């Protein structure tokens, strides 16, 4: 079924194409227009609907496509194919250059810079009207054949219709295939929760860049096709209000869906065609429509169709997993040898505006032993304990608020750019030592790559995606983060891995649910699952049981205990019952220092620990 999904989506397009074949010349040219604009809207959909970049700059590429096509034909007598290739190449180049500059800009600023970028060529094109024809535009005299040696003429309406529509349908098919591929899913992940994507090992910037380039190239292509179909171009196609149109079409149809932009373009262009003969200022109606859609049905026409469909065919609630295989965990990182250190820090600390949040944390975890330097009231000493060989070295951190527990996790996972001291993950330095401060050497995603994953106090999930998709995104990282086509073998492997994770985290029944609709405890489970799925060997769990119902606390505790056999788990925990049940080596933290370490019951009974705890 999954295999043929992309093909199913293309059927309505082919039907429309066939209808146009038998319609009046006016209407078939109208359908051609719809197809071309759909391609433009699709480029915006990839950028906004999937990657979450709201850009008013798509017209820049559309205009570029228009002009590089028409000018190369007018002045250099290019063939049609050559001109299309040239305009695609130019828009690709411009997208690559502009993208490199602006892709690190986010949210509001991105919108503004996209407007500014499309204004620059607009002003220039308006000014250089001897070349571009300015506002009035220029007619384009096309060569007599589409392809060399083939008798298809752009001046024959039927030939034109066939060539353009079939070409656009082919491109749209490729787009849909691309959006269905793992990279399309990761685009969605970047849109939903950038932070989580980063901590799963993906570099959001690279994905945004890719999306920007693809969208730009598509917009350029649609521009050149538009000129090909209508033999005319003007500087108005640079205007950012054209991007505004694409935004309206996409959102009306349903942004972030496969058919949404096409559906939206078709219906709004039809409305425009009908209404503009009766109502002079139909844009008012369009504006009101847009406001209403955003307010009441953000998923657009496709959303409406889906909800009607769901009412008729309620989805089956019973989800079963084909085979209950033994829980084999994903392990991409080699299990370290006895003496090799898994995680170690030397004098790790950080200062915020003069306040020392974390002071001189030194510890060393390896399969053989756990070494922690503790700051007792009567001086510093090393705590060492031999590690039980059935189990990975695990720690739990206990301490009052502001003791520096989360800060320690932040430092290890690469949230802060500077620190004191140094730290190693699997014997690789994550800080490079400077004169006073150490600088972060690796980015968050490359730390995840090394094998360290974490969770947060506030669960960081992909809230708008289903549990299954959440896992798929996380697992995909270790399979192939740049898979742009869907390979059956990889999909099978991914499915297997996701099923294992669902079993492990007890989320089988919820697998089709949207993540934000889960209970708080289930969300925590899901987040732990995501951390496992990203393939790390070290898991930092930040308060996994805070605010969770008692039954789910038991589930989570069991899960952590199960994990300890295969992972180095570091847990921050306030619930002492959980700490006692976990029986990890417990570090008591206060004022940025580790003041005691050892077996939970003993440590919690120490006099100075009690004093620090109850005093605060």
Partner 1 sequence: MDINNILIHLLNGLFWGSLIGLIAMGLSLVYGQLGIINLAHGELYMLGAVVAYYCIGIINSFWLTLLVSPILIIVLGLFIERFLLRPIERNTNATLIVTYAISICFQYVVLFFFGGAPQRISEPIGITLNLLGIGYPLYRIFIIVITFLLFTGFIYFLKHTRYGLWIRGTGQDIYLATVLGISTQTIYLITFGLGSGFAALAGVLASPIVAVEFRMGADIIILAFMASIIGGFGNLKGTFIASIIIGVLDGALLVFLESTYAKVSLLLISCIFLVLRPQGLFTIPKSSRRI
Query: Given the complex with partner 1, which of 247 and 531 has the nearer CB atom?
Result: 247
d(CA 53, CA 44): 9
Query: Given the complex with partner 1, which of 254 and 481 has the nearer CB atom?
Result: 254
Binding mask 227-246 for partner 1 (x = CB under 8 A): -----------------x--
Task: Work out which of 7, 116, 166, 270 binds partner 1, going by CB under 8 A.
Answer: 116
- At residue 148, φ and ψ (nearest 5 deg) are -60, 140
Smallest separation, CB 275 to partner 1 (Å): 12
Query: Given the complex with partner 1, which of 247 and 370 has the nearer CB atom?
Result: 247
Task: Work out which of 42, 94, 117, 594 binds partner 1, going by CB under 8 A.
Answer: 117
d(CA 582, CA 396): 8
Smallest separation, CB 414 to partner 1 (Å): 11
Task: Work out which of 7, 195, 376, 484 binds partner 1, going by CB under 8 A.
Answer: 195
Smallest separation, CB 248 to partner 1 (Å): 8
Task: Work out which of 352, 482, 493, 520 binds partner 1, going by CB under 8 A.
Answer: 352
Which range of residues in 123-131, 146-154, 168-176, 475-483 is near partner 1 by CB under 8 A?
Answer: 123-131
d(CA 262, CA 34): 8
Smallest separation, CB 294 to partner 1 (Å): 5
- Residue with structure tokens 């506002």? 135
What is the rounded radius of gyration, in angstroms, for the C-alpha atoms of the chain?
29
Query: Given the complex with partner 1, which of 285 and 304 has the nearer CB atom?
Result: 285
Under the binding rule (CB under 8 A), the answer on residue 547 touching partner 1 is no
- Residue with structure tokens 């009231």? 377
The arrangement of strands across the sheet holding 538-542 comes to 452-454, 538-542, 568-572, 395-398, 585-590, 593-598
d(CA 243, CA 112): 13
Smallest separation, CB 205 to partner 1 (Å): 14
Q: What does the block give as tokens for 136? A: 């009035």
Residues 6+ apart with CB under 8 A from 30: 269, 273
Q: Cβ(337)–Cβ(288) under 8 Å?
A: no
Query: Given the complex with partner 1, which of 119 and 131 has the nearer CB atom?
Result: 119
- Residue with structure tokens 């951390």? 531
Residues 6+ apart with CB under 8 A from 422: 345, 346, 347, 348, 429, 430, 431, 433, 438
For residue 46, give the DSSP letter: I
Smallest separation, CB 376 to partner 1 (Å): 29
Binding mask 283-302 for partner 1 (x = CB under 8 A): xx-xxx-xx--xx--x----
Q: Provide the 3-class DSSP secondary structure of residue 509.
A: coil
Under the binding rule (CB under 8 A), the answer on residue 280 touching partner 1 is yes
Smallest separation, CB 329 to partner 1 (Å): 27
Which range of residues in 87-95, 99-107, 306-314, 571-579 is near partner 1 by CB under 8 A?
Answer: 99-107
For residue 526, give the DSSP letter: H
Under the binding rule (CB under 8 A), the answer on residue 338 touching partner 1 is no
Q: Cβ(340)–Cβ(427) under 8 Å?
A: yes
Under the binding rule (CB under 8 A), the answer on residue 442 touching partner 1 is no
Smallest separation, CB 439 to partner 1 (Å): 13
Q: Provide the 3-class DSSP secondary structure of residue 539.
A: strand
Query: Given the complex with partner 1, which of 176 and 247 has the nearer CB atom?
Result: 247
d(CA 573, CA 418): 26
Task: Work out which of 93, 113, 271, 275 binds partner 1, going by CB under 8 A.
Answer: 113
Under the binding rule (CB under 8 A), the answer on residue 93 touching partner 1 is no
d(CA 39, CA 262): 8
Query: Given the complex with partner 1, which of 99 and 336 has the nearer CB atom?
Result: 99
Under the binding rule (CB under 8 A), the answer on residue 489 touching partner 1 is no
Under the binding rule (CB under 8 A), the answer on residue 97 touching partner 1 is no
- Of residues 401-420, those binding partner 1 (CB under 8 A): 406, 410, 415-417
Q: Is the CA virtual torsion 535, 539, 542, 546 positive or negative?
A: positive
Q: At what angle do helices 58-76 and 240-253 cross, to 10 degrees?
A: 120
Residues that bind partner 1 (CB under 8 A): 48, 52, 54, 101-102, 105, 107-109, 111-113, 115-117, 119-120, 123-124, 126-127, 195, 244, 247-248, 251, 280-281, 283-284, 286-288, 290-291, 294-295, 298, 352-353, 406, 410, 415-417, 456
């Amino acid at each position: 079924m999954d295999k043929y999904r992309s093909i199913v989506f293309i059927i309505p397009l082919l039907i429309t194409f066939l209808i146009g074949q038998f319609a009046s010349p006016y209407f078939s040219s109208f359908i051609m227009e719809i197809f071309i604009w759909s391609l433009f809207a699709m480029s915006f959909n990839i950028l906004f609907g999937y990657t979450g970049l709201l850009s008013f700059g798509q017209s820049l590429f559309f205009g570029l496509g228009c002009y590089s096509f028409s000018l190369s034909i007018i002045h250099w007598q290019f063939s049609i194919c050559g001109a299309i290739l040239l305009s695609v190449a130019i828009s690709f180049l411009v997208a690559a250059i502009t993208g490199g500059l602006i892709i690190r800009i986010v949210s509001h600023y991105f919108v503004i810079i996209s407007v500014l970028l499309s204004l620059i060529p607009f002003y220039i094109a308006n000014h250089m009207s001897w070349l571009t024809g300015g506002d009035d535009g220029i007619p384009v005299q096309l060569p007599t054949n589409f392809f060399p040696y083939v008798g298809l003429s752009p001046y024959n309406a039927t030939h034109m219709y066939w060539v353009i529509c079939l070409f656009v349908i082919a491109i749209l098919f490729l787009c849909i295939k691309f959006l269905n591929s793992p990279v399309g899913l990761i685009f969605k992940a970047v849109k939903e929760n950038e932070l989580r994507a980063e901590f799963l090992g993906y570099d959001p910037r690279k994905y945004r860049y890719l999306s920007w380039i693809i969208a730009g190239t598509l917009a350029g292509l649609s521009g050149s096709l538009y000129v090909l179909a209508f033999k005319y171009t003007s500087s108005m196609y640079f205007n950012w209000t054209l991007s505004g149109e694409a935004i309206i079409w996409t959102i009306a149809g349903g942004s972030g869906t496969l058919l949404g932009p096409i559906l939206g373009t078709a219906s709004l262009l039809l409305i425009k065609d009908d209404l503009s003969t009766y109502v002079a200022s139909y844009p008012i109606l369009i504006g009101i429509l847009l406001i209403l859609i955003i307010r009441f049905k953000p998923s657009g026409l496709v959303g409406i169709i889906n909800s009607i469909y769901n009412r008729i065919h309620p989805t089956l609630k019973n989800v079963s997993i084909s085979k209950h295989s033994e829980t084999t965990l994903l392990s991409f990182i080699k299990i370290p040898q006895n003496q090799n250190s898994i995680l170690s820090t030397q004098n790790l600390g950080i200062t915020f505006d003069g306040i020392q949040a974390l002071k001189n944390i030194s510890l060393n975890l390896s399969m053989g032993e756990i070494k922690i330097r503790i700051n007792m009231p009567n001086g510093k000493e090393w705590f060492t304990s031999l590690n039980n060989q059935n189990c990975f070295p695990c720690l739990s951190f206990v301490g009052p608020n502001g003791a520096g527990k989360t800060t320690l996790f932040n430092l290890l996972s690469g949230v802060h750019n500077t620190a004191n001291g140094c730290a190693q993950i699997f014997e690789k330095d994550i800080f490079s030592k400077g004169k006073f401060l150490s600088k972060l050497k690796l980015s968050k995603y490359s730390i995840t790559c090394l094998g360290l994953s974490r969770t947060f106090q506030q669960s960081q999930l992909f809230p708008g995606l289903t549990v299954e998709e959440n896992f798929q995104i996380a697992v995909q990282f270790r399979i192939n983060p740049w898979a742009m086509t869907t390979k059956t073998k990889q999909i099978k492997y991914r499915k297997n891995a996701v099923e294992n994770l669902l079993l492990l985290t007890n989320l089988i029944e919820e697998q089709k649910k949207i993540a934000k609709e889960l209970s708080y405890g289930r969300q925590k489970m899901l987040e732990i699952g995501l951390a496992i799925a990203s393939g790390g060997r070290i898991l930092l769990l930040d308060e996994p049981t805070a605010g969770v119902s008692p039954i789910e606390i038991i589930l989570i505790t069991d899960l952590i205990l199960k994990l300890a056999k295969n992972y180095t788990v570091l847990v921050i925990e306030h619930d002492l019952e959980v700490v006692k049940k976990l029986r990890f080596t417990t570090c008591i933290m206060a004022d940025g220092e580790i003041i005691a370490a050892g077996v939970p019951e003993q440590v919690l009974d120490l006099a100075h620990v009690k004093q620090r705890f109850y005093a605060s």
